[in-house]
Amino acid sequence: MTDFDSDSDATRRAYLTTAAAVLGGSALSGCASDGGSTDTPGDAGGTDEPTATPTDTPTDPGTATETPVGTQSGVETPYSVSIEPVGEVTFESVPETWIANNGSWADMGIALGLDAPEGVWLTGRYHTQYYDEIPGVSVDKSDIKQLWGDSGVGKEQFYEIDADVHVADPNFLVNRGKWEQSDVDEITEEVAPFFGNSIFSRNYAWHSDYRYYTLMEGFEKLAQVFKRTDRYEAFEAVHDDFQAALAPVVPTRSERPSAAVIWGGGEQPESFYPYVFDEGTSFKHLNDLKVRDALADSDVKDFYSSRGAIDFETLLEVDPEVILLRGQEAKSRSEFEDTVLTFFENHDTASALTAVRNGDVYRAGALYQGPISNLVVTERLATALYDTDDELFDRQRVGDIVAGNV
């Protein structure tokens, strides 16, 4: 390992202290892959969510507190920002390099106009193709290091990257990544602090002792870390306008379809992991569109609680009006129809499903959503479910905010 204790590195390091104990927990089981890639349906490969082949089963957001001691390009330093479960983190300068655990936080950083993170748990789960719709915004994933492997996330990678901040929930590493609390403490002290919360889901038992954050609350916290609250506030206005544009598009409850969200990768999936909606960011687009959950009142056990898979026969018992398939975001709509939907239509059992007969089988949207990706997938699903061709958010305005024209 490289020695990072020199005076120059200590000066460059973007933190002073991390003031709060990080909650620990026991390791959980589960593994999976995402439709032809090596990543998994949850937050990291091999440990979080199901495989594409289920036989391998797997209050108030607050504000930043600042302690002005000096300035850095007009920024008062040091300054502190708090987030659960980490607590208060004090930065002596604004971070320049960073890693993100997943596409939720990575997308937030891009929305703030940051350079792409140096690494993410799984590059295959960070769907940068959404940026194709936003003028002037693009991310080259070939420069992003994948941190998660067969044995989880190795500590040596944190030393090699030497980032100024690790935008990740350390409890996830302890509970899902085979780390000990001592490993978290070591990287915090020797490299840089952790700053994050597992906002994408609210179903982990180990996540019950501290608060959750909505997508926009988490986004505001990250904006405070990077001192780019002006971009956050501009995005907040876009988000508010988007919610207002959605309101007349969403029909009354009796006219809204019931949908089953299931995970099935590849081109001919026959076994699936079921998801019951929660308030995590991975369901934000569905909750904003007020989609009814077809599995909520069924006998099907949620994946997070059961780690179990279902087949077409079980799905036929529920017979949802709409099927939303996760693990398929790498495909375009036409590619999805030519492969997965065609397979369903020609399958003896799947072809009997109401959703298949009516052609109401769609990509479910990203598991990890940030402020940009959420706009794209929500509008996409609104178009599919509610037969609207309206452009529900200003793409040029989003591009301008990313560029700093707020």
Q: State whether 196 and 259 are in the same domain.
A: no
In angstroms, the CA 48 to CA 307 distance is 10
On whether residue 128 sits in a domain, the answer given is yes
Q: Which residue among 195, 228, 261 closes a domain?
A: 228
- For the segment 86-124, what is each residue's pLDDT rounded down to a tens digit? 999 999 999 999 999 999 999 999 999 999 999 999 999
| Strand pairing class (361-363; 322-326) | parallel
Q: State whether 221 and 276 are in the same domain.
A: no
Q: Which residue among 166, 197, 228 closes a domain?
A: 228
On whether residue 212 sits in a domain, the answer given is yes
Q: State whether 187 and 272 are in the same domain.
A: no
Q: Which residue among 200, 228, 256 closes a domain?
A: 228
Stretch 351-372: mean pLDDT: 96
Q: How many CB atoms lie within 10 A of CB 75?
A: 15
Q: State whether 203 and 60 are in the same domain.
A: yes
Of 63-72, 154-163, 310-319, 364-373, minimum mean pLDDT range? 63-72
Query: Mapping DSSP to helix (H, G, I), strand (E, B) and coil, where does residue 113 land?
Result: coil
Q: State whether 216 and 324 are in the same domain.
A: no
pLDDT at 286: 97
pLDDT at 212: 87
Q: How many helices and strands in the chain, by DSSP H and E?
A: 15, 16
On whether residue 233 sits in a domain, the answer given is no
Q: What is the CATH number of the domain that holds 87?
A: 3.40.50.1980
Element (H, E) at 311: strand 310-311
User: Which is more confident, 73 or 127?
Assistant: 127
Q: State whether 194 and 249 are in the same domain.
A: no
Structural domain for 17, as ranges: 7-228
Q: State whether 115 and 157 are in the same domain.
A: yes
Q: State whether 182 and 216 are in the same domain.
A: yes
Looking at the structure of the chain, the number of domains it has is 2
Residues 6+ apart with CB under 8 A from 254: none
Contact 101, 168 (CB under 8 A): yes
Residues constituting the chain: 406
Question: What is the value of pTM for the model shown?
Answer: 0.84
Q: Which of the 8 DSSP states describes residue 115?
A: P
Q: State whether 108 and 168 are in the same domain.
A: yes
User: Which is more confident, 370 or 201?
Assistant: 370
Q: State whether 200 and 103 are in the same domain.
A: yes
Q: State whether 182 and 300 are in the same domain.
A: no
Q: State whether 192 and 96 are in the same domain.
A: yes
In angstroms, the CA 197 to CA 217 distance is 11
On whether residue 313 sits in a domain, the answer given is yes
Cα three-residue angle 98-145-129, rounded to 5 degrees: 90
Angle between helices 395-402 and 371-386 (to 10 degrees): 170
On whether residue 329 sits in a domain, the answer given is yes
